[in-house]
Amino acid sequence: MIPGLKGVILFGAENASFFYQKENFVSGRDIYYIDTRHLSEKACLFLVSCLDTLTDKYSYSYGLFPDLLKKEKIKLPVDIHGNPDWDYMEKYIEKIKENCNIEIHCV
């Protein structure tokens, strides 16, 4: 077992599932992470949804390893300077959370 850091995006080689790890964790074999500790939780959640588009390309017999992930391209919103628009991503996730809370409250 390997101790891991909180605030990173994890992915498994065998099933190419991505998720944001909010707390410290312990992982086993073929679990990798993207160091996103410098990003907000909401920006990471947005990234996870973008990375999930890769899931169908990989399987148990064709695993997603870090060297393959580095070759992948995902589309992100950009600001007027062509940099990732982290503010937009955070606001987008916040709006989704608000809408979910409203729907849950209505039920």
Give tens-digit pLDDT for 35-82.
999 999 999 999 999 999 998 888 777 888 999 999 999 999 999 999
Position 26 confidence tier, pLDDT thresholds 50, 70, 90: confident
Instruction: Kindly list the domain boundaries of the chain, sorted by start residue.
Output: 8-99
Is it the case that residue 14 has pLDDT exceeding 90?
no
Q: What is the model's pTM?
A: 0.85
Token digits of residue 68:
């393959």
Position 28 confidence tier, pLDDT thresholds 50, 70, 90: confident
pLDDT confidence of residue 88: 98
Buried/exposed 11-34: b ≥16 CB within 10 Å, e otherwise: bbbeebebebbeeebeeeeebbbb
| Cβ–Cβ < 8 Å for 16, 54 | yes
Position 104 confidence tier, pLDDT thresholds 50, 70, 90: low
